Amino acid sequence: MQELKLKIAQTIATLVDGALSPDEIAAMLEYPPDSAMGDLALPCFKFAKAMRKSPVMIASALRDSFSCEGVKEARAMGGYLNFTLDTDFYLATVNKIVSEGENYGRSEEGKGKTVVLDYSSPNVAKPFHIGHLGTTVIGHSLKKLHEFLGYTCIGINHLGDWGTQFGKIICAYRRWGSRAEVEAGGVDELVRIYVRFHEEAEKDPALNDEARAEFHKLELGDEENIALWKWFIEISLAEYKKTYDQLGIEFDSYNGEAFYTDKMPEQIELMREKGLLTLDDGATIVNLEAYNMPPCLILKRDGSTLYPTRDIAAAVYRKRTYDFDKCIYVTSSGQSLHFAQWFKVVEMMGYDWADKLVHVPYGTISIGGAKLATRTGNVILLRDLFSTAVEKCLDVINEKNPALENKEATAEAVGVGAIVFYYLLNGRIKDSDFNMEDALSFDGNTGPYTQYTYARCSSILSKTGDITGRATALTEPSEFALVKVLSRFPEAVKAAIRDYEPSVITRYSLEVATAFNKFYQDCRIISSEGEVNESRVLLVKATRTVIREALALICLKTPEKI
């Protein structure tokens, strides 16, 4: 659609004597809510000033002299010029998608540019809970979207693998843990002793001093503590990786906070040289009053570094290592101030790439309706959320399609996909409440519904066999409506990247599924004949490609059969 929009815009630009550029005009083109009004609409209000005529007059004047390949008819309605597209446009679109296949919608616009994405990043030995769903799937989706447009992407899991919590776990392990129990229980056991530490420390605050001492030993490189620390990370990572596998996620780097320990002094020194550091009640800070923000903490009273200090050192390291054009951080909006503060400090340090740091925040997630059991206190683990969904899917499959091959793998793809889809359906900044029944429904606005539509396309194509000809005969309104949705895929990808908003793709894939199911209801495919049959099969093929690519962009797998 983008090309056609540009063609229309170029024609209009000549008719309005350059009042606006073709690009500006293309961006003004809208999709009317009802296709009876046309397929594209140009609001003429913006031309009024330059042309000194009313939008209504402009629209009708433009109509009289407008002609453009791909447009069957232009009509003036109110201050709008409405276009009805030509059948040729629809045929050409289907043929383009079929011939480009998985490359449809991809581009090279990011070629030579590098984007670093910092996401997921759980705190080691603390539960990997549903609050991490957002950073994990939004982050990975943004990575896939950028890759789709040719960017080189580096996905970094900035593990929370440093800090006083390790002193607590080491202390707790020595008192109440054992190697055998940790080996058997994995990260759950670490969380158990961590939770116990907090309970016991309530009663006996001296434990906190013990924990601090253990952490200090760790900082000084105490061999035993270092070994424990490494072991705890290993155990946690093994657990996270199971969840990442279910989502099809791999990271390019697991350099966590500890990795930057030896990279901080240089940056602190630079802050000192630039005169940015002041002492505040013993702590070293950068005053940000001039920017209406509380100070950014760089060193604690005891001289130890903090979360922002490590982020600053990490950003410099990443710039030097990857020379990024953009470095994206995906975290809950609770951390927005933290990022605003240290981004500002990086700018004050004189790094001219400070404006290439992007924070992408998201809202909180809660769970209504059914309570999910968890063995680790009052948080809901991502792992438990996924396995509940997978079990429920398996039940449905066993009931409806017991003969299906690969039942387990399919249930996993659909169950995990359902949660991701449900989560990514709404704008990221909105707080969301999770409802398992809704997420798993096969006939709502859900992942299962969209995946099922994909499987339906695959099933039709397995019956018709592959057709290599060209679409030459599309006539039905529901065929046109479907092609129109398919033609918007490249635009949806661009909008999702522009707004750092995977939900654009989630909603888009639903539109494809809905338009396809309408077409499937209205038009016979298998029993149609000749050109009509061939064209419809090609339309199914094009739809299948677009659903698969769109779902892959939001971390959903597409089983061929459900």
Binding site for ligand ARG (CB under 6 A): 118, 121-123, 158, 160, 311, 329, 331
Instruction: Kindly tell me which of 331 and 446 has the beta carbon lying closer to ligand ARG.
Output: 331
Tokens of 2: 């983008």
Tokens of 17: 């004597």
Nearest distance in Å: CB 250, ligand ARG: 18
Nearest distance in Å: CB 305, ligand ARG: 13
Using CA atoms, how far residue 31 sits from 5, 39, 41, 266, 390, in Å, is 11, 6, 6, 54, 38
Q: What is the dihedral of CA 302, 304, 309, 313, to 10 degrees?
A: 140
Q: Where are the alpha helices (DSSP H) in 499-558?
A: 503-522, 530-553
Nearest distance in Å: CB 336, ligand ARG: 12
Instruction: Kindly tell me which of 342 and 516 has the beta carbon lying closer to ligand ARG.
Output: 342
Q: Where are the alpha helices (DSSP H) in 323-446?
A: 336-348, 382-400, 407-424, 436-440
Instruction: Kindly tell me which of 55 and 134 has the beta carbon lying closer to ligand ARG.
Output: 134
Q: SS3 letters for 228-248?
A: HHHHHHHHHHHHHHHHHHHHC
Nearest distance in Å: CB 160, ligand ARG: 3
| Adjacent-strand bridge partners of 367 | 434
Instruction: Kindly tell me which of 58 and 314 has the beta carbon lying closer to ligand ARG.
Output: 314
Amino acid at 497: I
Instruction: Kindly tell me which of 12 and 258 has the beta carbon lying closer to ligand ARG.
Output: 258
CB-based closest residue to ligand ARG: 160
Nearest distance in Å: CB 192, ligand ARG: 20
Instruction: Kindly tell me which of 141 and 453 has the beta carbon lying closer to ligand ARG.
Output: 141
Spatial neighbors of 422 by CB under 8 A, at least 6 apart, are 434, 435, 438, 439, 446, 447
Radius of gyration of the chain (CA): 28
> Residue 7 and residue 66: Cα distance in Å, rounded?
12
> Residue 189 and residue 178: Cα distance in Å, rounded?
10
Nearest distance in Å: CB 431, ligand ARG: 17
Instruction: Kindly tell me which of 160 and 415 has the beta carbon lying closer to ligand ARG.
Output: 160
Nearest distance in Å: CB 314, ligand ARG: 6
Nearest distance in Å: CB 329, ligand ARG: 5
**What is the CA angle 428-394-383, rounded to 5?**
45
Nearest distance in Å: CB 138, ligand ARG: 12
Nearest distance in Å: CB 358, ligand ARG: 12
Using CA atoms, how far residue 426 sits from 146, 325, 501, in Å, is 20, 28, 9
Nearest distance in Å: CB 228, ligand ARG: 20
Q: What is the rounded end-to-end Cα distance, in angstroms, of the chain?
A: 32
Cβ-contact 139, 103 below 8 angstroms: no
Tokens of 39: 């397929």
Nearest distance in Å: CB 133, ligand ARG: 12
Instruction: Kindly tell me which of 208 and 333 has the beta carbon lying closer to ligand ARG.
Output: 333
SS3 state of residue 41: strand
Nearest distance in Å: CB 332, ligand ARG: 7
Instruction: Kindly tell me which of 80 and 351 has the beta carbon lying closer to ligand ARG.
Output: 351
Instruction: Kindly tell me which of 158 and 392 has the beta carbon lying closer to ligand ARG.
Output: 158
Nearest distance in Å: CB 328, ligand ARG: 10
> Residue 70 and residue 523: Cα distance in Å, rounded?
24
Nearest distance in Å: CB 247, ligand ARG: 17
Q: What is the β-pairing status of strands 296-299 and 365-367?
A: unpaired
> Residue 212 and residue 300: Cα distance in Å, rounded?
13
- Which helix (H) or strand (E) is 331 found in, with range? strand 326-332
Instruction: Kindly tell me which of 121 and 388 has the beta carbon lying closer to ligand ARG.
Output: 121
Instruction: Kindly tell me which of 118 and 384 has the beta carbon lying closer to ligand ARG.
Output: 118
Instruction: Kindly tell me which of 1 and 268 has the beta carbon lying closer to ligand ARG.
Output: 268
> Residue 550 and residue 562: Cα distance in Å, rounded?
18
DSSP notation for 485-514: HHHTHHHHHHHHHHTT-THHHHHHHHHHHH
- Which helix (H) or strand (E) is 272 found in, with range? helix 264-273
Q: Residue 429 gets which letter from DSSP?
A: T
Amino acid at 126: K
Instruction: Kindly tell me which of 194 and 329 has the beta carbon lying closer to ligand ARG.
Output: 329
Spatial neighbors of 104 by CB under 8 A, at least 6 apart, are 96, 97, 489, 490, 545, 546, 549
Helix axes 206-219, 179-203, angle to 10 degrees: 130
> Residue 410 and residue 304: Cα distance in Å, rounded?
49
Instruction: Kindly tell me which of 268 and 471 has the beta carbon lying closer to ligand ARG.
Output: 268
Residue whose entry in the numeric block shows the structure tokens 């599924």: 513
